[in-house]
C-alpha cells in the first residue's frame, strides 16, 4: 500500500482542466504534476503516435491499446514511485479518459476497455477523481480561442463525438459516486479553482497529517 495520494483530473477537451491543475499544483510544493498520455519519455513517444494528425488509419482498438500501454509505463516509472515516497500525485487524465473516449465515444464498450486497462494498471485506481463538466459546444469554443494550443487527432472529431465523450463521463460519475466528483466547469477560472482546491484539501485532510 503506497503512502501518497493519487488524484486524477478528467473532462472533455476545452474544460480548462490543464489550467486548473497547474494552479492546484502551485498550492502544494511537493506535489507531482503529470499528464497522460505521456509524462515520461517512452509514454511521450507513444503519445506522439496516438495524437499524430496524419494517423487517420488508426483502428479504435489500436488506439485503446496504445493509451493503455502509455498508461502502464507512466504508472510504473513515475506515478507509483512518487506515491511510494509519500507524495501527492496530480494526474491530468487516467483510465476514465479511456473509458469515456474509447469505451463510450468510440463504441468499444466501457467494460471491454476496462479489461485491457486492468492488465495495464492491475486495478490500481485513484483515490479521488475530479471531473470538469462542460457543454462540448463551449469546450470547443474555448479550444478555438486558445490559439497557442496544439490541435491533435482527437480534437478533430466532430461535435457528436465530443457529446458522446461527455455522456460517457456522466455514466462514470453515476457508476463511481464515491471516487468521482463532478465540478461545473462553465464558470470562471477562479470559481472552478476554488471548488477544486476544496475537494483536494478535503481528501488530504481525510488522510491525516503527513
Place of cell 474509447: 102
Asked whether position 13 contacts ligand TYD by CB under 6 A, the answer is yes
List, in sequence order, every beta strand (DSSP E) within the chain. 5-10, 32-35, 88-92, 128-133, 180-184
Q: Between 129 and 158, how does the x/- string for binding to ligand TYD read (CB under 6 A)?
A: -----------------------x-x----
Peptide bond into 37 cis (omega under 30): yes
Among 6, 67, 104, 169, binds ligand TYD (CB under 6 A): 67
Nearest residue by C-beta to ligand TYD?
A: 101
By the rule CB under 6 A, 10 interacts with ligand TYD: no
Grid coordinates given for 125: 485506481
* Residue 98 interacting with ligand TYD (CB under 6 A): yes
DSSP 173-199: HHH-TTTEEEEETTS-HHHHHHHHHHH
Angle made by CA atoms 141, 153, 133, in degrees to the nearest 5 = 45
Question: Does residue number 196 form part of the binding site for ligand TYD (CB under 6 A)?
Answer: no
Asked if residues 124 and 66 have their Cβ atoms less than 8 Å apart, the reply is: no
14 is in an annotated binding site: yes
Task: Assess 18 for contact with ligand TYD (CB under 6 A).
Answer: yes
Does position 36 interact with ligand TYD (CB under 6 A)? The reply is yes
Q: Does 90 help bind ligand TYD (rule: CB under 6 A)? A: no
> Can residue 166 be called a binding residue for ligand TYD (CB under 6 A)?
no
Is 93 among the residues that bind ligand TYD (CB under 6 A)?
Answer: yes
Nearer to ligand TYD, 89 or 204 (CB): 89
How far CA 185 is from CA of 20, 24, 195, in Å, comes to 10, 15, 10
Q: Which is nearer to ligand TYD, 73 or 97 (CB)?
A: 97
Amino acid at each position: 500500500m503506497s503512502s501518497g495520494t493519487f488524484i486524477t483530473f478528467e473532462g472533455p477537451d476545452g474544460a480548462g482542466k490543464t489550467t486548473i491543475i497547474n494552479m492546484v499544483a502551485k498550492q502544494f510544493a511537493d506535489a507531482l504534476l503529470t499528464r497522460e498520455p505521456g509524462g515520461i519519455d517512452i509514454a511521450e513517444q507513444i503519445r506522439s503516435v496516438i495524437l499524430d494528425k496524419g494517423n487517420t488509419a488508426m483502428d479504435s482498438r489500436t488506439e485503446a491499446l496504445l493509451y493503455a500501454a502509455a498508461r502502464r509505463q507512466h504508472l510504473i516509472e513515475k506515478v507509483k514511485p512518487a506515491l511510494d515516497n509519500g507524495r501527492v500525485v496530480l494526474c491530468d487524465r487516467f483510465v476514465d479518459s479511456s473509458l469515456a473516449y474509447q469505451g463510450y465515444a468510440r463504441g468499444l464498450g466501457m467494460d471491454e476497455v476496462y479489461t485491457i486497462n486492468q492488465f495495464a494498471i492491475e486495478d490500481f485506481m485513484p483515490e479521488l477523481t475530479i471531473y470538469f463538466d462542460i457543454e462540448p459546444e463551449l469546450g470547443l469554443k474555448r479550444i478555438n480561442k486558445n490559439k497557442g494550443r496544439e490541435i491533435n487527432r482527437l480534437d478533430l472529431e466532430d461535435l457528436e463525438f465530443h457529446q458522446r465523450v461527455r455522456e460517457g463521463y456522466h455514466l462514470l460519475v453515476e457508476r463511481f459516486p464515491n471516487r468521482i466528483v463532478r465540478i461545473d466547469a462553465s464558470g470562471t477560472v477562479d470559481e472552478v479553482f476554488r471548488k477544486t482546491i476544496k475537494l483536494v484539501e478535503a481528501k488530504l485532510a481525510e488522510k491525516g497529517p503527513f
